[in-house]
Amino acid sequence: MKLLFITPPMGNWAPWGDRHLAVNSLHSQVAGFIREKKSAEVSVLDCRALGLDDDQMLDEIKQRRPDVVFFGAMIAAAGGAAQLNRFHEAMKRIKEALPETITVGGGLMYTAIPKKVMTENRQLDFAIVGVFGDVEYPLSELLEELKKPARNFADIRGLTWRNGDEVVLNPGRPVIGNLDELPMPAYDLFPMDKYYGYSVIPNYNEAVTSRGCEGACHFCYEWWLVDQRNPRDFSTHRTRGGRAVAEEMELLNKTYGVKALTFMDDDFSSDRQKMVDLVEALEEKKLDMSWFCLSRAQNMIRDADLVPRLRKVGMYQVLIGIDGGTDEEIAEAHKGPMKVGVKELKELVQFLRKNDISTISTYLNGFWEDDEAKIRQRAKAVDEIDPDIVMIQLLNPIPGSPIYKKAVKDNVIETDNLSLYDLEHCVMPTKHLTRHQLGELTGWAFQSFYSKPGRIERILNGYSSPYVKMKFLSFKNNAAKYEKGAAEDAVAI
């Protein structure tokens, strides 16, 4: 049995330029597991990293002749649901050329709406409902079943399959409680020398060390990684231990030469003990590596005592979400028991800056009650909080999320084109603004933030890490493309 993990030719999020390339973390983690279980002979084809077009991709697949091909992702920043159109186009080409090849999808969207996706895409044979990337066990069981002359797919929990013309969704399965039981990601299968960050950073890559998030915000894009039958799985946060993470970092640094690493976990620092163990392990290993992570403000505040040590072991930048323009709006996001408003966020940003750690902040426009005044108030609050870099995303109603259910009920979603579900485009208006007006106001907010005197100078010259400057200049060079996407239906992925 030969299993091939495929990333087809496709673009990037506009702010990151045309050459932002990293390992597909879902593929690397699941490939490591399948190989350890000996469920299949495993290989990887990353067309984006190798620069292959559709025809070259197909030629490569014809040469390798896999029995099963797997498509999927668990990182929204790789392009959100827009990736699925690329996946399904590639599956269609494969089926036309090699009709016996079995196609499997897993990860985001396949987990949230598997029956809908399979009904609309006949070229997809199986979809796996794996909460936050828990694809390992159902895929392994599927591969074992495919080896049998008489196959029974009904007993594989977490699998969606075809029984004639009927699409069958099997019962879900519990989440993987202990991520440390999983093997190291199979980085050796990937073209590790081809990856490049933000179009400007060589020796770059990305990793994911946890699954789930304690926040479970009603607007979060990660709802597309959650089984709608078990929404509480969203907030079941699971993480690998700090020493295991340090070992993965050491492998990436010493074996593959990675010097700039981004942790794409939604909340990398949720577990205090993980962070303590990570700091201690990295102090011992003394790696030649700088790293960036996504965190929640309340956890960075909790770990204030670790921040100077985190900087010394390579953490040069942190992304923190800002969930509104007023304390009341931020509180509505239900981020956790700690009160974190504009004042606390501002103090955190200043504290990190004093420790030579840059900040990126994200926030959303496009809630139903948004009008021009609310969007301008949000921009004013972010200006007061004063992070170094701001990335403004547009609310996409993610299937399975509370916002999606209300948007469908109210019939306000204006397009179901998945190519636009990438958090860069407006897909529905607000009560007071058209999609175009919302996109234009978001463009104004970008320009307003970066036009403040001294802000750009601080980003360019205020930190010891060269990556802060490099990432900002890349983002600046692509800002016009981003703004165009926000106001128009220009496909990026």
Q: Comparing 436 with 253, which gets the higher pLDDT?
A: 253
Q: In 211-337, which residue ranges form alpha helices assigned H by DSSP?
A: 242-256, 272-285, 297-302, 307-312, 327-331
Half-sphere exposure of 193 (CA within 13 A, CB side): 0
Alpha-carbon distance of 242 to 282, in angstroms, equals: 9
Look at residue 127 and give its three-state secondary structure: strand
Strands (DSSP E) found in 131-229: 159-163, 166-169, 204-207, 210-211
Looking at residue 224, its pLDDT comes to: 80
Alpha-carbon distance of 223 to 212, in angstroms, equals: 10
Q: What angle do CA 85, 143, 157 make, to 5 degrees?
A: 80
Q: Comparing 321 with 61, which gets the higher pLDDT?
A: 61
Q: In the predicted model, what is the mean pLDDT of the chain?
A: 91
CB atoms within 10 A of CB 343: 12
Least confident interval from 69-73, 108-112, 207-211, 334-338: 334-338
Give the mean pLDDT of 85-114.
95
* Residue 15 in this model has a pLDDT that exceeds 90: no
Q: Comparing 202 with 391, which gets the higher pLDDT?
A: 202
CB atoms within 10 A of CB 127: 30
CB atoms within 10 A of CB 72: 28
Give the mean pLDDT of 208-227.
84
Fold of 2-169: Rossmann fold (3.40.50)
Q: What angle do CA 306, 454, 322 make, to 5 degrees?
A: 50
Considering 81-85, 319-323, 331-335, 372-376, the range whose residues carry the highest mean pLDDT is: 372-376
- DSSP annotation of 234 reads G
The separation between CA 142 and the C-alpha centre of its own chain, rounded to angstroms, equals 25
pTM reported for the whole predicted model? 0.92
* Residue 338 in this model has a pLDDT that exceeds 70: no
Alpha-carbon distance of 381 to 388, in angstroms, equals: 14
Half-sphere exposure of 458 (CA within 13 A, CB side): 17
**Nearest of 491, 421, 424 to residue 109 by alpha carbon:** 421
The domain ranges of the chain are 2-169, 184-487
Given the candidates 3.80.30.20, 1.10.1060.10, 3.40.30.10, 3.40.1160.10, the CATH classification of the domain at 184-487 is 3.80.30.20
CB contact at 8 A, 218 and 368: no
* Residue 481 in this model has a pLDDT that exceeds 80: no
